Amino acid sequence: MSDKDQQDKNTHFGFQTVAESEKAKRVADVFHSVAARYDLMNDLMSGGIHRLWKRFTIELSGVRPGNKVLDIAGGTGDLTRKFSKLVGPEGEVVLADINDSMLKVGRDRLLDLGVAGNVRFVQADAEALPFPDNHFDCITIAFGLRNVTHKDRAIASMLRVLKPGGRLLVLEFSKPGNKMLSKAYDQYSFRLLPLMGKLVTNDSESYRYLAESIRMHPDQETLKAMMVEAGFARVTYHNMTGGVVALHRGIKP
C-alpha cells in the first residue's frame, strides 16, 4: 500500500467516516474536553455502577504483591489506585493514556490521594506500547479499546508486553442480549447522555460521540474472536448489567 493510500484510508469516528489520520485528533479533542469532569460524568452516566464493574475487574485480575501491572487508558486512575495497593512496594503499576489531559487529571488525583511510590505515568499509544517484551503480569484497559483505531494492533501490542501466563482484561461497553433492554439503552444513550453532557460539561457532542462509539464497538463474540486470533488463550467474557458492559479475559500462552 502506498503512503497516499495509507493516508487516505478511512475509519469510524462514532457514526461518521473519517480519515484514520484524523480520528486520533478528534478522539483526543473529546477527552481534552471531558477530562476535568470525567469522574462526575461516569457516576452520573452509570448511576455509580461503573465502580462495581471495575471492582469485578480487579477481582478477576489475579494481581498479587510484587506484580507489574499496566493500566491502559487509565484515565483518572480508579484501577491504578486499587492495583497500587495490591502489588505493594515491591510491585509496579503503570498508568498509561494517550491523552495528556486525562493523564494529568489521573496523576494529580492519585498524588492528592497519596498514591505515588509504586506508580508511573506514561503517555502511550495502545497500538504501539513503549515497553519491553514479556514485561507485565497483568494488563487492563477499561472503556478505552473502543476509541482505538486499529484494535487488532492494540491487542497484539498488549500480548507482546505481557509475560507468559500474564492476563489481559478488557472492560468495555458491549451489546445487551435482551431486545427491550437494548431499546431502552438506545433511548438513554442518544437522548439523555448528550443532555447530561450539555448540562454538566457544556459539551453534548463529545457524549454523543461516546454513545456512537459504543455502538460501533465489536460485540462480545467478535471481540473474543479477535483476542483468540491475536494469540490469547482461554479467552472468556462475563456480561454485566445485561450485557451493557462485558469483561473479556485472556491469558498469554
Binding residue ranges:
76, 97, 125-126
CA–CA distance, 39 with 139 (Å, rounded to integer) = 21
Contact 67, 226 (CB under 8 A): no
What are the grid coordinates assigned to 28, written together? 483526543
Helix (H) or strand (E) segment spanning residue 158 = helix 151-161
CA–CA distance, 163 with 146 (Å, rounded to integer) = 24
Q: In what order do the strands lie in the sheet with 136-142?
A: 119-123, 92-97, 68-72, 136-142, 162-173, 245-251, 233-240
What are the grid coordinates assigned to 118, written together? 509504586
CA–CA distance, 139 with 70 (Å, rounded to integer) = 5
CA–CA distance, 27 with 218 (Å, rounded to integer) = 18
CA–CA distance, 54 with 56 (Å, rounded to integer) = 5
Binding residues for S-adenosyl-L-methionine: 76, 97, 125-126
